[in-house]
Amino acid sequence: MLDIKFIRENKDLVAMGAKKKHIDFDVEALIKIDDKRKELILSIDQKRSEQNEVSQKIVSISDPAQKSQMIAEMKVLKESLQKEEEELKTVMHDWQVLMVAVPNIPDVSVPEGVDDKDNREVKVWGEKPKFDFEPKDHIELMTNLGMLDLERGTKVAGFRGYFLKGDGVRLMNALWNFTQEYFYKKGADGNNWTPMIVPSLLKREVFMGTGYLPQGEEDLYKTQDGDYLAGTAEVATMGYYMDEVLEKKDLPLKMLSFSPAFRREAGSHGKDTRGILRVHEFYKYEQVVLCEASHEESVKYHEEIQRNSEEITEALGLHYHVVANCGGDLGLGQVKKYDIEVWLPSENTYRETGSASYFHDFQTRRLNIRYRDDDGKMKFVHSLNNTALSGRPLIMIVENYQNADGSITIPEVLRPYMGGQTVISKK
């Protein structure tokens, strides 16, 4: 959420930001209703002040006629006040609906474009694997090796249900352990990341605070109690410091959060229906950073968390490229976003494995996470997040490291977490 003072002073910039993101938002409608809000608040405050003054005078008046007249006037004033207070409730509701719909302003470096087809490649690492045989997809490879059971997954969990088994579980555990170790080693240089296991079943207000509601409700699972299941550990991690004042000396706060993730994939019917590339339930490590309210600091940490994910992908030996997301492919609150996309041989294309975003104070203003600056002024911290590890690298490893006989070579960095095993083959 942007500051209403900033919006009023920069309404053309806000309108340009919405246009670049291809989000339909009427800034003038917000300004108009904010004018009404301010007018009503001023009038109500004046009436309350007048009411207090008259109440004090009535006590000291002994003349019954004069007192009766003042009481009658007070009644009219009270009725007028109550009417304006009811009107303010309606205006405040409409104002809040518009305020949470104001899109954040994208950085000037964000490419123009409508959707992910317009994202701009900014980096390429490694080379595409070359096979002297026809490569199989992850479904055939993992099923043949007893790593995956989609048929029973569908039987038990329905569409997009799956079971990981045997070496599929061991390989996934190895990826988790390797990721944990990677961030633990960062701490040896004083770059401490706090590991966290966070809840996925969360209150509505945390989703509102992070910007996943109200716009993204169709992709969330909702319980009958009004809570929601999160699609990323970012939501709970951001809620951790909700309504708190942090110490500037403790910034930046860096958290590596792990949780199950749930997504309805409401807008993806017919897409990636085979295999486990796009599923309703998976597990995810997420990097979350809270830093000082500085654009330069946000940019610095954005590049840092992006590089963390690149280093993990490079250590796994997976060919990837990085794209800068265009305006139309940014979410409501994102200032800038990078996607890492890893090569998937069976599709002969790149597929996303993670996204790095920064938000300035868009989320923290909603969540009321502040710190006191050196000048004593209270400021909202800036927030950033990036995928450290999703479920997709498992698929990429299986396909990129496959052999002609259907076995899978285990990446060298994962072997210590699999008891020194080098190859996954039929038992």
Report the chain's C-alpha Rg in angstroms. 27
- Separation of alpha carbons 139 and 168, rounded Å: 12
- Pick the catalytic residue from 120, 264, 278, 351: 278
CATH T-level fold of 4-99? Helix Hairpins (1.10.287)
Q: Is 392 a known active-site residue?
A: yes
- pLDDT computed for residue 130 by the predictor: 95
Query: Helix, strand, coil: what percent of the chain each, to 5?
Result: 45, 20, 35
- Pick the catalytic residue from 257, 309, 355, 383: 355
| Max Cα–Cα distance, the chain, nearest Å | 107
**Residue 209 CB-density burial (10 A; 0-12 exposed, 13-18 middle, 19+ buried):** buried
Q: Is 278 a known active-site residue?
A: yes
Domain ranges within the chain, ordered by starting residue: 4-99, 116-424
pLDDT averages per 10-residue partition of the chain, 427 residues:
93 96 95 96 92 80 78 85 94 95 96 96 97 96 98 94 97 98 85 94 96 88 95 97 96 97 80 89 97 97 98 98 97 97 97 97 97 93 98 97 98 98 94
Query: Which residue, chain included where needed, has tokens 């486990």?
Result: 276
- Residue pair 292/325 in contact (Cβ under 8 Å)? The answer is no
- What is the model's pTM? 0.91
**Domain 116-424 CATH assignment equals 3.30.930.10:** yes
Q: Is 170 a known active-site residue?
A: no
Would residue 270 be called left, alpha or beta, if left means φ above 0 and alpha means ψ between -120 and 50 degrees? left
- pLDDT computed for residue 267 by the predictor: 66
- pLDDT computed for residue 15 by the predictor: 96
- Pick the catalytic residue from 160, 263, 365, 370: 263
3-state secondary structure of 423: strand
- Pick the catalytic residue from 204, 352, 407, 425: 352
- Pick the catalytic residue from 170, 366, 370, 392: 392
Query: Which residue, chain included where needed, has tokens 């706090």?
Result: 194
Residues 409-421 as b/e (b if ≥16 CB within 10 A, e otherwise) read bbbebbeebbeeb
Q: Is 264 a known active-site residue?
A: no
- pLDDT computed for residue 58 by the predictor: 79
Per the structure block, which two tokens stand in for 45? 């405050």
- pLDDT computed for residue 71 by the predictor: 80
Per the structure block, which two tokens stand in for 107? 């950085």
